[in-house]
């Protein structure tokens, strides 16, 4: 993320040293992101993944921007790994 934002190490460390507010934001973000998956449950989440993987692979394969992202994730590689979601 630091590199994608173009921040120096010093800038990144300065943000990392902020008081607890940053940690509180991270916890709130994590909780909000988890809520839909908890609502679906394990079986619903597995079914969602099964249904969406072919679509996600097709979009990712045709969209270079998805492969060059701040989190350095390669969705094509990640989704193509057998058993990645087990």
Q: Which class for 21: exposed (0-12), middle (13-18), buried (19 or more C-beta within 10 A)?
A: exposed
Residue reference for tokens 């097709």: 58
Looking at the structure of the chain, the number of domains it has is: 1
In a domain, 85, yes or no: no
65 lies in which domain range? 2-80
How many whole angstroms separate alpha carbon 13 and alpha carbon 16? 5
Average pLDDT over residues 57-69: 77
In 1-86, the DSSP E strands lie at: none
Supply the pTM of this predicted model: 0.56
d(CA 57, CA 9): 34
Is the residue at 86 inside a domain? no
Which tens digits make up the pLDDT trace of 4-51? 667 788 877 777 666 666 667 777 888 889 999 999 999 999 999 899
**Residue 27 forms part of a structural domain:** yes
Confidence at residue 36, expressed as pLDDT on a 0 to 100 scale:
92
Predicted local confidence at residue 51, as pLDDT: 93
């Amino acid at each position: 993320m630091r590199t994608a934002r173009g921040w120096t190490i010093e800038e990144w460390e300065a943000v990392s040293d902020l008081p607890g507010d940053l940690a509180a934001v991270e916890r709130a973000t994590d909780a909000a992101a988890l809520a839909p998956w908890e609502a679906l449950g394990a079986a619903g989440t597995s079914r969602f993944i099964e249904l969406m993987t072919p679509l996600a692979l097709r979009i990712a394969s045709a969209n270079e921007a998805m492969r060059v992202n701040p989190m350095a994730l390669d969705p094509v590689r990640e989704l193509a790994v057998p058993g990645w979601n087990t």
